[in-house]
Amino acid sequence: MGIDPLPSQLKLDEVSPVLKSRLWALIHAQIQKNIGNGGYLHEPMRRVARQYMIERANILIDEWENNGYTLVKKWKKNFAAEANFSEVLGFIEWFARALRDHDVSGLIANILIYERAAYRLEDGSIIPVASPEEGGRHRAGRATHQECRDGWSARSPYEILNAPDSRCLCRLG
């Protein structure tokens, strides 16, 4: 009665609309910060977009248009309402590997945890987790995600990553 239910763990083969939106917001921000005059992409997004056109879109490179706004339209389809979990997470895994940016990978990992996805980003690969314990394994003196979440539950994944003393597993590094 007026109290929202606690969010539950998403199931395997499931991505929520909010998870899609948060992941897209991160990808969109990466594109936007690499758009220059005339809409041309700067490095490293230019390299990543070029790689996408060859590897995933099967576009002949001389037919590729180096334009950030065109790229937004093309990549946004991976996060549309009708996109299934494999389209969303397949693209995210590919993007993390292609970009090779630890901070962005850390943000992706945080979003997956924060939104209670049944998947984690580990060493550039999206992997399923069968239990909360598996999703928050203790490694090398870092706190488990549950320990982090207990202390950071009101924070966003971006704040967790940028926290000065965060030892959470969701902070890759």
Which tokens in the block code for residue 101?
């940016």
For 1-38, letters b (16+ CB in 10 Å) and e give eeeeeeeeebeeeebeeebbebbbebbeebbeebbeee
Q: Given pLDDT bands bounded at 50, 70 and 90, which one contains residue 151?
A: very low
68-99: pLDDT as tens digits = 999 999 999 999 999 999 999 999 999 999 99
Of 13-17, 26-30, 166-170, the one with minimum mean pLDDT is: 166-170
Q: What is the pLDDT of residue 170?
A: 46
What is the C-alpha separation between 144 and 54, in angstroms, rounded?
39
Q: Given pLDDT bands bounded at 50, 70 and 90, which one contains residue 35?
A: very high
Residues 100-125 have a mean pLDDT of 95
What is the C-alpha separation between 132 and 129, in angstroms, rounded?
7
Q: Is 171 exposed, middle or buried (0-12, 13-18, 19+ CB in 10 A)?
A: buried
CA distances from residue 106 to 35, 73, 121 in whole angstroms, order as listed: 22, 25, 8
CB 168 within 8 A of CB 139: no
Of 56-60, 84-88, 159-163, the one with minimum mean pLDDT is: 159-163
Q: What is the pLDDT of residue 132?
A: 52
Check pLDDT > 50 for residue 56: yes
Q: Is the pTM of this model over 0.75?
A: no
